[in-house]
Amino acid sequence: MKKIPEILDKLRRTGFKLTPQRLAILEVLQGNTDHPSASMIYQSVRDRYPMISFATVYKTLKVLEKVDEVRPLTIVEDKLNYDPDTSPHHHFHCRACRRIIDVFPSEDPMPSSIDGHQVDKYQVYFYGLCADCAGRKDA
């Protein structure tokens, strides 16, 4: 995700309007590495913008997906999590603390095709026990 003013520009250029709700959501996402779900975003936004609705959160996330400023993750079954960092990287999901942790591979370029199929996007999900939780178990 770019800096907020740049995103606002991009939205305006794409024909989207700037609303306080959208700004509040952008502020919650900016720099966020928690990979929040829609409901986590809703709750955080509500702290600073109490009258926001769930529908607006979902609709705004769709807009941000469209302008490629947020990436939906299907790492957890039955809900989506959102990553404002759209740079190429992977994710690790800890089965104990349930955190989603960024993993930046030293090198792992997305193939442009595989078995003759054209690849536009890819996701790598790791599952297991994170370093913190593994340490806690041993102790």
Q: Which helix (H) or strand (E) holds 83?
A: strand 81-83
Q: Which is nearer to DNA, 121 or 137 (CB)?
A: 121
Return the amino acid letter for 92. Answer: F
Q: Taking Cα atoms as reference points, which of 91, 88, 97, 50 lies closest to residue 74? A: 91
Q: Does 63 bind its own copies (CB under 8 A)?
A: no
**Which CB atom, from 20 or from 126, has the smaller least distance to its own copies?**
126
Name every residue whose Cβ is closer than 8 Å to that of residue 116 and which is 6 or more positions away in sequence: none
Q: Which does 39 bind (CB under 5 to 8 A by kind): its own copies, DNA, none?
A: DNA
> Which of the listed partners (DNA, its own copies, none) does 131 bind, with a CB threshold of 5 to 8 Å by partner kind?
its own copies
Q: Which of 47, 116, 138, 139 binds its own copies (CB under 8 A)?
A: 116
Coil, helix or strand at residue 63: helix
- Pick the binder of its own copies from 13, 15, 109, 117 (CB under 8 A): 117
C-alpha pair distances (Å), 56 with each of 26, 30, 53, 81:
13, 18, 5, 16
Q: Which does 33 bind (CB under 5 to 8 A by kind): its own copies, DNA, none?
A: none
- Does residue 13 belong to the site contacting its own copies (CB under 8 A)? no
Residue from the set 40, 80, 85, 86 that interacts with its own copies by CB under 8 A: 80
- Compute the CA torsion angle 94, 99, 104, 110 (nearest 10 deg): 80
For binding to its own copies (CB under 8 A), which residues are involved?
72, 74-78, 80, 92, 94-95, 101, 103, 111, 113-131, 134
